[in-house]
């Protein structure tokens, strides 16, 4: 566990400085007071600073996993939260279990909202973290990727046949990326995005 | 439902101890009134209400099981 020793005039000041340096919230550290501040009879003379030791209780991965477990418990779903380690700097979680469809929602709507919230929460709780949270449920994202790749190919053929551009429905950045990559090497069509999130759409047009 | 909004809101704000959710139940709907510290209002609403919208999406999904409409209102 990450620890840090801080010295300041008072215990409160040391705590404020310490959590700022660690980039975490007060409720995520254990505080041990090593030295209480003391003042000599004549203030400022022979006064001693406060010294404390902070220990971070929960690391980001553990924090998010616990959050998801609490959420599943509250909505009475039996799901197992699995941490998937991939060396890309992001935190990957997969939830497996029965009847989790309601957490995925129409075209991943709910799953995407949940993932968005987790990202906001992660960066609020851990100010220094750089990675993102990626959540999947029963490998939905992998299946969706295959569907989108297939859709991209079908629409590209249509564009080639009709010579007219096709506008797709709004998608998240990750989903749009899948479409762009799927058609990157297609010599007959180009893809680009138009509009602002969350209404940004991919357009496939003849080259 | 109340616990769900509490869990999410407390994780988003600077003053979790000031998060308060009141559940008002009707016949076909539930209203959840979320109160946070004045400084935390923006933290549960987000730019263009994006965070509030995400909270509502997740809560509504959870409410499907109860077959009731749930409305999350952020009140001052």
Of A79, B12, A110, A73, the C-alpha closest to B21 is B12
Any idea what the CATH number is for the domain that residue A97 is in? 3.30.300.20
Rounded to two decimals, what is the model's pTM? 0.86
Query: pLDDT tens digits for B24-55?
Result: 988 888 999 999 999 999 999 999 999 999 99
CB contact under 8 A, A116 and B3: no
Task: Answer yes or no: do A196 and A167 share one domain.
Answer: yes
pLDDT of B35: 97
Task: Answer yes or no: do A133 and A151 share one domain.
Answer: no
Confidence of residue B1 (pLDDT cuts 50, 70, 90): confident
Over pLDDT 70: what percentage of chain A?
96
Any idea what the CATH number is for the domain that residue A15 is in? 3.30.30
**Domain stop point among A84, A112, A138:** A138
Question: What does residue A197 show for φ and ψ, rounded to 5 degrees?
Answer: -60, 145
Contacts of A62 (CB under 8 A, 6+ apart): none
Identify all chain A residues contacting B57, using CB atoms and an 8 Å cutoff: 105, 109-110, 113
Q: Give the separation between CA B1 and CA B23, rounded to whole angstroms.
A: 8
Task: Answer yes or no: do A65 and A133 share one domain.
Answer: yes
Any idea what the CATH number is for the domain that residue A185 is in? 3.30.1370.50
pLDDT of A37: 85
> What number is the ipTM of this complex?
0.95
Beta carbon pairs, A and B, within 8 Å = 51
Q: Which residues of chain A have a pLDDT value below 70?
A: 39-46
Identify all chain A residues contacting B66, using CB atoms and an 8 Å cutoff: none
Q: Give the separation between CA B1 and CA A74, rounded to whole angstroms.
A: 8
Sign of CA dihedral A10, A14, A15, A17: positive
**Domain stop point among A99, A119, A138:** A138
Residue of B nearest to A26 (CA): B14
Q: Give, as one character, the DSSP assignment of residue A132.
A: -
Of A23, A117, A11, the C-alpha closest to A71 is A117
**Domain stop point among A138, A164, A187:** A138
pLDDT of A46: 59
pLDDT of A87: 82
Identify all chain B residues contacting A27, using CB atoms and an 8 Å cutoff: 16
Contacts of B76 (CB under 8 A, 6+ apart): B35, B38, B41
The C-alpha of B66 sits at a distance from chain A's nearest C-alpha, in angstroms, of: 10
Query: pLDDT tens digits for A156-195?
Result: 999 999 999 999 999 989 899 999 999 999 999 999 999 9
Identify all chain A residues contacting B4, using CB atoms and an 8 Å cutoff: 71, 74-75
């Amino acid at each position: 566990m990450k620890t840090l020793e801080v010295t300041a005039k008072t215990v409160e000041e040391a705590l404020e400085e310490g959590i700022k340096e660690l980039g975490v919230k007060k409720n995520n550290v254990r505080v041990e007071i090593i030295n209480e501040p003391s003042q000599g009879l004549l203030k400022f003379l022979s006064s001693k600073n406060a010294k404390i030791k902070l220990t971070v209780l929960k690391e980001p991965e553990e924090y998010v996993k616990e959050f998801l477990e609490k959420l599943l418990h509250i909505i009475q779903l039996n799901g197992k939260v699995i941490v998937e380690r991939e060396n890309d700097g992001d935190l990957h979680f997969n939830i497996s279990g029965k009847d989790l469809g309601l957490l995925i929602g129409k075209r991943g709507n709910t799953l995407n909202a949940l993932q968005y919230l987790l990202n906001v929460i992660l960066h609020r709780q851990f100010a220094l973290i750089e990675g993102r949270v990626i959540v999947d449920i029963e490998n939905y994202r992998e299946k969706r990727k295959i569907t989108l790749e297939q859709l991209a190919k079908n629409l590209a053929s249509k564009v080639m046949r009709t010579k007219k551009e096709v506008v797709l429905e709004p998608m998240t950045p990750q989903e749009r990326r899948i479409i762009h990559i799927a058609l990157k090497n297609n010599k007959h069509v180009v893809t680009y995005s138009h509009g602002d999130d969350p209404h940004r759409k991919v357009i496939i047009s003849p080259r | 439902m109340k616990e769900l909004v509490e869990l999410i809101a407390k994780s988003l704000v600077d003053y979790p101890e000031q998060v308060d959710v009141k559940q008002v139940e009707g016949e076909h709907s539930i209203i959840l009134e979320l109160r946070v510290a004045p400084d935390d209002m923006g933290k549960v609403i987000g730019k263009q209400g994006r965070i509030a919208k995400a909270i509502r999406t997740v809560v509504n999904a959870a409410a499907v099981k109860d077959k009731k409409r749930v409305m999350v209102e952020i009140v001052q």
